[in-house]
Structure 1
Amino acid sequence: MKASYRAIIGREFVDSDEKIEVKNPYNDSHLTYVTMAGEDLFITALEKARTAQREFIKMSLPERSAVLLRASEEIDRNREHLARIITLESGKPIKDARAEVERAAIVFRIAYSLCEEERGEFLSLEKNPVSRRHFGIVRRFPLGVGIGITPFNFPLNLVAHKVAPALASGNAIIIKPASKTPVSALLLADILNSAQLMDGMLSVLPSKSEVVERVITRSDSLKFLTFTGSASVGWHLKSLVPKKKVLLELGGNAGLIIDRDVDIEYAVKRSVYGAFAYSGQICISVQRIFVHREVFDRFLDAFVLAAEGLKAGDPLSENVDIGPVIDRQSVERIMTIIDEAKKGGAKVLTGGEVMENNIIKPTVLTDIKPDMRVYAEEVFGPVVTIERIDSINEGIERINSSIYGLQAGIFTNNIKNAFMAYEGIEAGGVVVNNIPTFRS
């Protein structure tokens, strides 16, 4: 990692007097300094993006899509370097960081393929007698210039989620990465520039939240906002720009049902991964598990044993499963939630302790009450609750008792129960025979 990184507007590196220090979450050691952009740099980036976007959409689809394919190939070529940067600035275990890099490359390949799809649709208007021998054309057009705000937990892939679709659909975008993990986004901008992306179509501007808020509320040239992060921040941002296109991907406390007829070994293996991957710092991490009474004890014993078998330590080590949470403030917040549950009568079956280097032991709780924060809120840490249920309907009701509805899942060999969960759970997605954390 370099001693310092500047912000990027198109192909130009830009600087300011304000810098932010990036630290390694594992040991709080200094990594680098990164330029923090003020409102003036955002205005410059917006003006440059508007000009570039008007020219970009004049390019042929093969020319535009080729940039995305080259970017995907360049990500693949730099896999190990990118993975190491992700691990250093986010604390993600290196094996998971490599998977993130691979996923980011796939995102750009998918965006490339979308450029090749048919973009128009013909509609007959002949149902109305006055419109006989008439037809309509439906076609999507780019919005223009947008801002993407990304979180710390997937500092490369969630930036790719914003950038690749925007470029594929002809939009320019300015990325405001998480202040804890800005380097991965800056490296992605480098990659796209080396892939010959038109100057101005992508800028990466680390900055303070209040700066971005001023920009999105004052700029008429900004046409859309895409945000991934906490629900409170997301809805607040949406309220600031009611007349702009807004795309939010917010938090969750994903529920998972374990039916009585499942392969316990497989369900436990996947559930443990879903609960504790990246120390639970994933918006679709498994947080609440509801197990049919007939297999509850078997599942619980096996789950606790598997959780205790996870190796915690330096995330750069190849055999480490559990690394640090992002900072000391997060450690304190998560432990407060665990302690409140314990005081309320919850049982800690394993974990519930802080190790050195911002690592929290994988924690399993039971005897949970619905009003406990560990049940009602998004913990965003290596904590899971496991409760017994008497029926699939009860599991569905328990999942739906949350204010969140991002993702859920069910393990079952009963097709009727699978569809019951699919139709009854109030969530954006229901994964059958895999964890809510699963992504195709």
Structure 2
Amino acid sequence: MKQTKLWINGVWETTEKSTELKAPYTGEVLTKVAKATIADVERAIEGAHETFQSFKKTTAYERAEILYKVVAIMRNRKQELAEILAKEAAKPLTAGLAEIDRTIATYQFAAEAAKQVTGETIPMDAAPGVTDRIGYTKRIPLGVVSAITPFNFPFNLIAHKLGPAFAVGNTVVLKPASQTPLSALVMAHIFKEAGLPDGALQIVTGSGGELSDTLVTHPLVKKVTFTGSGAVGLKIKEKVGLRKVTLELGSNAAVIVEPSTPLEKIMARCVSGAFGFAGQVCISLQRIYVHQSIYHEFTKLFVEETEKLAVGDPLDKKTDVSAMINPSEVERIKNWIDEAKQQGAIVATGAKFTDRTCTPTVMTNVKAHMKVVCEETFAPIVSIIPYNTLDEAIEYVNESELALNAGIYTNVLTDAMKAADLLEAGAVVINDIPTFRVDNMPYGGVKMSGYGKEGIKYAVEEMTDLKLITMKLNY
């Protein structure tokens, strides 16, 4: 059985302790994963800081070329990388290939952004009494970035940390999710091949609970970027101090379906948004608010479309939905469904379990206080809820403290614009599901769904400091 290693200062290092990595679908042991110590993390941070002293001096052209080479390498290894996702995360091959395509695009956006980091001239003479000064701004890299990433998009969400960081000359210490280290470690090989200097990327695997304090509070860390649960995000926010921080947290994304919507045209899209990767997506469609005049028709069509989905082996090209990330998550969501049923909810389809899977589940007759509605399920569950007026639907959506993306389907322009103004979310998607994301758009929630923005251009701003330079022309 293979055992993974840590990637520190361009060298693969063994560790005394390791943990077993099991495949979510089969339960078989894939490998033993190196378990880093706090001392390992400290060395990684110190090494990244040392490398930063030279890496920050590289040109935009040089950094862009490294990222373009990453793009080329990944294009040639797409199938292999998608199979890693299938094995360690139970992501079906079709979804895995889609993630690799997005990851490639993310690194390409980062390569292009490396050449577009600009400042502006400041009209110093706009201030009274100033006649002989010029001023301009420039963006400068921060230093060491601590990146802590989740299991659900292990290639692409890592790319949203590494791409913009390297584009501007930062170095990164990466702590990937415990369930998905293999996707991170293969990127060490790829960046090495692409010419990234040793020490610019450090990868430490192990327990987030044991390592995160050092990653967040070490004095050489200048920026923390985290994607994961709200509970962990709040703890990081309390500890991070004056360092820059980006927190991409959870949601229970909602869409409103108005009566002007052609249901047959949106049904497959809504189902895919609800159940893609077994609903383990921050912007997975979890709440569907349907106008009461079309509620029964929508529910019937949605259930029919849901029942077409195939649950099975992620390596089978016919599989639509595979295992949840671990059996404890299956048990949790089974309890949530049982609790909702005891409170009057109805399972229209699904809610059939094995130790590792949950069939796509549609729930009706739910109430706002039920966990399946008001909390993030992160599972293949969607609730369909009727409403009477658009104002009422908007109010239902806004009741949640989670607010990443929200959506509305309508052919009435004024209603679309009303929803765009009144829905409380980081993004409002009109005539599509809230699960929509492209990797150059600003992405980040409000309320309890996050702090700061990702999307390459916006991440570049979060990963740099703005410096003003002004010169007196006559002295």
TM-score bucket of the superposed structures, by smaller chain: over 0.9
The answer on whether the counterparts of 2:58 and 2:169 sit within 8 Å (CA) in structure 1 is no
Partner residue, 2:426:
428
How far residue 216 of structure 1 moved from its aligned partner, in angstroms, is: 3.4
Partner residue, 1:376:
374
How far residue 183 of structure 1 moved from its aligned partner, in angstroms, is: 0.5
2:120 partner letter: E
1:406 to 404, 407, 429: 404
Q: Is residue 2:37 matched to residue 1:38? A: yes
Partner residue, 1:128:
127
How far residue 217 of structure 1 moved from its aligned partner, in angstroms, is: 5.3
Partner residue, 1:386:
384
CA deviation map 1:174-199 (0-9, x unaligned):
11001011100000111001101011
CA deviation map 1:318-362 (0-9, x unaligned):
0110101001100001111111100000111001120x3611011
* Partners of 2:125 and 2:388 in 1: CA distance: 55
CA deviation map 1:191-233 (0-9, x unaligned):
0011010110101111212332331355211111100001111
CA deviation map 1:17-45 (0-9, x unaligned):
11111111001111111111111111111
Residue segments in structure 2 that go unaligned for 5+ positions in a row: 439-475
CA deviation map 1:129-176 (0-9, x unaligned):
212353321211111001100111111111111111110121111110
Partner residue, 1:246:
245
The answer on whether the counterparts of 2:416 and 2:430 sit within 8 Å (CA) in structure 1 is yes
* Partners of 2:414 and 2:378 in 1: CA distance: 32
Q: Is residue 2:443 matched to residue 1:437? A: no
* Partners of 1:169 and 1:435 in 2: CA distance: 33
The answer on whether the counterparts of 1:26 and 1:357 sit within 8 Å (CA) in structure 2 is no
How far residue 385 of structure 1 moved from its aligned partner, in angstroms, is: 0.3
CA deviation map 1:72-130 (0-9, x unaligned):
11111111111001110000111100111111111100000001215121111222221
The answer on whether the counterparts of 1:254 and 1:408 sit within 8 Å (CA) in structure 2 is yes
2:150 partner letter: P
Partner residue, 1:197:
196
The answer on whether the counterparts of 2:57 and 2:169 sit within 8 Å (CA) in structure 1 is no
Partner residue, 2:331:
332
The answer on whether the counterparts of 2:41 and 2:215 sit within 8 Å (CA) in structure 1 is no
Partner residue, 2:91:
92
2:138 partner letter: R
Q: Is residue 2:343 matched to residue 1:350? A: no
* Partners of 2:213 and 2:367 in 1: CA distance: 41
1:186 partner letter: L
- C-alpha RMSD of the superposition: 1.2
The answer on whether the counterparts of 2:117 and 2:168 sit within 8 Å (CA) in structure 1 is no
1:282 to 1:164, Cα distance in 2 relative to 1, 3 A: same
The answer on whether the counterparts of 1:50 and 1:172 sit within 8 Å (CA) in structure 2 is yes
Q: Which has the higher contact order (CA 8 A, sep 6+)?
A: 2
Secondary structure of 2:321 counterpart: coil
CA deviation map 1:279-336 (0-9, x unaligned):
0000100000001122111111100000011011111100110101001100001111
Q: Is residue 2:255 matched to residue 1:276? A: no
Q: Is residue 2:249 matched to residue 1:257? A: no
* Partners of 1:151 and 1:411 in 2: CA distance: 30
Partner residue, 1:365:
363
Please list, as runs of the form range in 1=range in 2, the aligned pairs for 1:273-312 lying within 5 A after superposition.
Answer: 273-312=272-311
Residue segments in structure 1 that go unaligned for 5+ positions in a row: none
The answer on whether the counterparts of 1:324 and 1:357 sit within 8 Å (CA) in structure 2 is no
2:399 partner letter: S
* Partners of 2:410 and 2:53 in 1: CA distance: 51
**TM-score relative to the length of structure 2:** 0.90
The answer on whether the counterparts of 2:117 and 2:139 sit within 8 Å (CA) in structure 1 is no
* Partners of 1:233 and 1:118 in 2: CA distance: 32
Partner residue, 2:450:
none
The count of aligned residue pairs is 438
Partner residue, 2:71:
72
How far residue 267 of structure 1 moved from its aligned partner, in angstroms, is: 1.7
Q: Is residue 2:388 matched to residue 1:417? A: no
Q: Is residue 2:51 matched to residue 1:52? A: yes
CA deviation map 1:362-396 (0-9, x unaligned):
10111111111111100000000001111221111
CA deviation map 1:3-61 (0-9, x unaligned):
22211113210111111111110011111111111111111111111111110111111
* Partners of 1:163 and 1:352 in 2: CA distance: 38
* Partners of 1:118 and 1:46 in 2: CA distance: 25
The answer on whether the counterparts of 2:324 and 2:358 sit within 8 Å (CA) in structure 1 is yes
Secondary structure of 2:293 counterpart: helix
Please list, as runs of the form range in 1=range in 2, the aligned pairs for 1:106-125 lying within 5 A after superposition.
Answer: 106-125=105-124
* Partners of 2:321 and 2:407 in 1: CA distance: 23
Secondary structure of 2:224 counterpart: strand
* Partners of 2:406 and 2:213 in 1: CA distance: 36
* Partners of 1:160 and 1:334 in 2: CA distance: 30
Please list, as runs of the form range in 1=range in 2, the aligned pairs for 1:129-208 lying within 5 A after superposition.
Answer: 129-208=128-207
2:398 partner letter: N
1:331 partner letter: V
